[in-house]
Structure 1
Amino acid sequence: MSGSRITDQQVRLYMNHRKHHPQKLAAAKSGMSERTARRVEHEAGLPSQQPRRYWRSRPDPFADVWESEVVPLLRAAPKLKAITLLRKLQEDHPERFPDSMRRTFERHVSQWRALEGPNQEVFFPQTYQPGARGLSDFTHMDKLCVSIGGIPFNHLLYHFVLAFSRWEYASVVDGGESFQALATGLQNALWQAGGCPREHRSDSLSAAFRNLQEEEDFTVRYAALLEHYGMQGTRNNRGMGHEYGAVKNMSQWFSTTPHRLSR
């Protein structure tokens, strides 16, 4: 195939076929062109033993227009396709840059984007296995301005999500973050889900502790709760929205997503 380096195995195969067949047929049986076969016969050693060429074997056809015409267009509109830029050069310089130069020009554009183009977004996809992880979090619902009889109802929502299926459960918490709220919400979520994930992840609940003793007490009771349901526990200081990737604000989810709250 044009543009692909032949392998040591192809060369060995070619030399075996060459003992009994003409050069053209031996090359075809080995998956290489006849021109490559002629080069193989004149070279000493296998392809892996040959030094790779990192220099140009012919003059760059775009050298005198690259910095003056192409780069300014790329900097002004980095998302322009290489074929669009080539068409612009063909209009400005008739018969100078035929379509046969397209692949060469595309390599120039790709190299420029890699070395000098705008920074690319880095994305690390998160993959989950069925039944592997569940996540719990609390969020304040003050932005919804809920009131009962004209009196503001200051409350939280407990939110549970199965990471793989995106199955969700939410319940109202009349009070602050606490072990009781977490245990009740988690237990009801697991009952409705009909099973337990292998791992449960929650935020650090730092707002729930007034001192170190309370935090240590929570840790012991939390570990006992997870042991009862046969789950491993981890903490997530960045909040569930960061890992879940669906919404970062539970009040946004509550106001825009059809849902059903269990009483």
Structure 2
Amino acid sequence: MPIGPVYLLFDDGTRALLHVDPDAQGTYGTHRGTLSLAEVLQADVGSVLRTNIGARVRVLRPSLEDLLMRVRRKTQIVYPKDAGFTLLKLGLRPGDRVFETGSGSGAMTIALAWAVSPSGRVVTYEREEAFLRLARENVTRAGFADVVEFVHADASQAIAGGPYDAAFIDVREPETVLAPLYAALRPGAPVAFLLPTTNQVQELLQSLQAGFTDVEVLEILHRYYKPNPARLRPEDRMTGHTGYLVFARREVEGWQEEEKPPVKREAEA
């Protein structure tokens, strides 16, 4: 039986992400008729239901992209193209402890929770109480409430709960959190930053020189193609610049600058 959100694909190609309470009753209205919520709860993933007017609906498990793109938002969210690559670079696995600051609407929080579930933990800090409430609602609707701890706090002041295996930072001035972040991360732990402008990236790069290494800066462009085998071509619109990604690692303890290689002696005559 589906647990948490259910992804619905209608016979005309339209889609919907339905969040059904286990005790839900009544019907769900769509553009192709109504569905019994009891039937949706009883349906197996991969099955087909019919609305009251006979329209077919596939019941599917939502992808991580579905969960991210359908959150209720009051802030800019981290797009799947950036979230997916960030998860790869952070190397997250079930059981990891991850720190996040800048919860926003909770899209990236969902991605982090998805990666470390079911035995891991995400601790997310947010200064704006209204955003924190929204993030909590979205994470709960996505089914990851048990994995995430929400903290109404400013990470630049202090970060509790470490040591963390990785971190994701999405705030206006990330350089202000580097000192407490350094103290909260395990040695060698990866950290990712998302920034919209180049001047913010430059400021961060200056600050990362103390305590962080293995720094990379990049952006990801994402373009779909029309899936027509006879006339394959790009879509007219694409997701271009959404932000710059900066990756680094917390320096390991006791690291010394690499010694200069010894000067080779000339062979004696």
Q: TM-score range by the shorter chain?
A: under 0.3
Higher helix fraction: Structure 1 or Structure 2? Answer: 1
More strand by share: 2
Which structure has the larger Rg?
1
TM superposition score normalised by structure 1: 0.27
TM score, norm. by length of structure 2:
0.26
